[in-house]
Chains A and B, each alone.
Chain A
């Protein structure tokens, strides 16, 4: 089944403890992106990638890192999480711009205490 897989689905962690949220797609998509969703603020893009080894900042990149060493994987790294990074995170991928939309993962609900 064509899909974007995120893990974990839920995560509670403490301030400052490094964590990685994994994202993998099995559709050979070029484009991948990370969003966070917060009440009243909607979805905001964190980072995106147009291809392997090509990444760029979105609207809210502070406190996050990404890498795209393989086409299928696009992990999101929080080096030192803080409570303001408590949010619902989505990974998404797309094959071609302007042809189809993004396929989203099921989300990762992160709580930083």
Chain B
């Protein structure tokens, strides 16, 4: 079952602009993660934010988490053509020791040179 839903489904911007992608989920989570996927290739882990954290930074990435609204956002600042990819949020909502991620369907980001 889909836990995370990304919004928008597709986003096209110019190089140098900021890109914001949103993720909504349905149940309580342990943590939320963002991944990037270049066309047809493996996913690359970008950042993990725990349920007791509100904001996290990594280089040009900024992630926020609002557990009261069950939503998260990923901001990529000063985007580059190389940022063109699909971006997925994934939630870890399992109880006990099960480390199971449930992925959304992704946002396709196109950064035009």
Name the contact of B1 in the complex, choosing from A56, A59, A97 (C-beta under 8 A). Answer: A59
- In this complex, the interface size class of chain B, counting residues with CB under 8 Å from chain A, is 20 to 34
- Beta-carbon contacts under 8 Å, A4-51 to B: 4, 31, 33, 35, 40-45, 48, 50
Q: Chain A at the B interface: mostly helix, strand, loop or mixed?
A: strand
- CB-based contact A90/B48 at 8 Å: no
Chain A residues near B30 (CB-CB < 8 A): 97-98
- CB-based contact A88/B43 at 8 Å: no
- CB-based contact A45/B100 at 8 Å: yes
What's the A-B contact tally at a CB cutoff of 8 Å?
70
A87 to chain B, nearest CB (A): 12
- CB-based contact A101/B33 at 8 Å: yes
Name the contact of B45 in the complex, choosing from A41, A100, A105, A107 (C-beta under 8 A). Answer: A100
Q: Which of B2, B44, B101, B106: most chain A CB closer than 10 A?
A: B101
Interface segment, one of B20-28, B34-42, B72-80: B34-42
- CB-based contact B99/A100 at 8 Å: no
Name the contact of A56 in the complex, choosing from B44, B90, B98 (C-beta under 8 A). Answer: B98
- CB-based contact B43/A90 at 8 Å: yes
Chain B residues near A42 (CB-CB < 8 A): 2, 88, 103-106
Chain A residues proximal to chain B, CB less than 8 Å: 4, 31, 33, 35, 40-45, 48, 50, 56, 58-59, 88, 90, 92, 94, 97-107, 109
Return 13 A-B CB contacts under 8 Å, by A number: A33-B100, A45-B102, A48-B98, A48-B100, A50-B97, A58-B100, A59-B102, A101-B35, A101-B46, A102-B101, A104-B43, A105-B42, A107-B41
